[in-house]
Amino acid sequence: MFALTTDPVWLIAASVLGGVGLANGAAGALTVSSFDALLAEKASEAQRTRVFAASQAFWSLALAVGSLAAAVPTLLRTSFGVSDLESYRLPYLAMAMVTVAAAALLAPLREDVTVRAARVAAGWLPRRSRPAIATYALGIGFLGFGLG
């Protein structure tokens, strides 16, 4: 949406729906738990430490690349003579393409039937997870109060 319009109503709607601007990485916090669960399910016990370490290394690399990418609009304007609006529109289009490519890579992954059957049998809120979920919910609640 950010690459397609300059209308404030659409930009605000996209920001609300997409979580743009959430402080302290709260938008990432909402997706990390499911990603970590996916890694834990797909990696064998012997591979799990290596897989999680690689995941965090790639995450750190992505954060560094993202920080450096903040200079892209200025680089496009000064080096290639791109207009102010286009200097932001082009990176948003690139980000959209990366997002679609990532989704396409993950789309073939399927949930293990035995894991799903065990989860359904345990109920939607397993006893063992309740304290961790309550602690997490309390922390996110305080974060929400802090964000306003």
Residues 6+ apart with CB under 8 A from 127: none
d(C-alpha 67, C-alpha 51), whole Å: 24
Q: What is the pLDDT of residues 31-74, one digit of tens each?
A: 777 888 888 888 999 999 999 999 999 989 988 998 999 999 99
CB 77 within 8 A of CB 84: yes
**What is the DSSP code string of 86-141?**
HHHHHHHHHHHHHHHHHHHHHTT----HHHHHHHHHH-SS-GGGHHHHHHHHHHHH
More confident residue, 28 or 61: 61
Q: According to the model, what pLDDT value does residue 22 have?
A: 53
Instruction: Tell me the pLDDT tens digit for each residue of 76-126.
Output: 999 999 999 999 999 999 989 998 999 999 899 887 788 778 777 777 777
